[in-house]
Amino acid sequence: MECEFPTENATSDEVKALLQGVKTIAVVGFSPDETKDSHRVGKYLIDHGYTVYPVYPKEEVICGQKVYRSLDEIPEPIDVVNVFRKPDVVPVIVEKIKALGNVKALWLQKGIINNAAAQEAKKAGIEVVQNKCIMVEHRGLGA
């Protein structure tokens, strides 16, 4: 895998405004394994008042939340799609987000960068955060 430096990314002020202004977050790759980062981050978001939709290929419930197999199964509008998947699947996620038409932001967790997909998302009016942990950024707000 080739490493990338994020060329498309939200500023610190944009990240702050985003986290303060959103209510619903779909966590793609939300693992039921409590030792995984995706589980800890998803649970943190739930514990801090966000409505979280786990997207995972197995399980029925994670952290008390109904699990969805894909983004298009979620019955409510999603503000942020938070991704815990490899960079090479991000273009597929961006296409799904664009088809939904109501997602405000794509958030790629620490270590996940796909500049081409980020550019596609931005062209569609979707804010992009890459290579940042949503939990760390939220904690930095003093929440």
pLDDT digits (tens, 9 = 90+) for 80-131: 999 999 999 999 999 999 999 999 999 999 999 999 999 999 999 999 999 9
Please enumerate in sequence order all residues whose Cβ is within 8 A of that of 8, keeping only pairs 6 or more positions apart, or say none. Answer: 115, 118, 119, 122, 128, 130
Q: Cβ(58)–Cβ(87) under 8 Å?
A: no
pLDDT digits (tens, 9 = 90+) for 64-94: 999 999 999 999 999 999 999 999 999 999 9
Does position 7 have pLDDT exceeding 90, yes or no?
no
What CATH number labels 12-139?
Answer: 3.40.50.720
The pLDDT value given to residue 8: 77
Sheet harboring 80-83: ordered strands across?
A: 51-55, 24-28, 80-83, 105-108, 127-129
The pLDDT value given to residue 3: 64
Global pTM reads: 0.93
The pLDDT value given to residue 2: 52
The pLDDT value given to residue 6: 74
Residue type, 72: D
pLDDT digits (tens, 9 = 90+) for 41-50: 999 999 999 9
Q: How far apart are CA 115 and CA 42, in angstroms?
A: 24
What residue segments make up the domains of the chain, in order of their start? Answer: 12-139
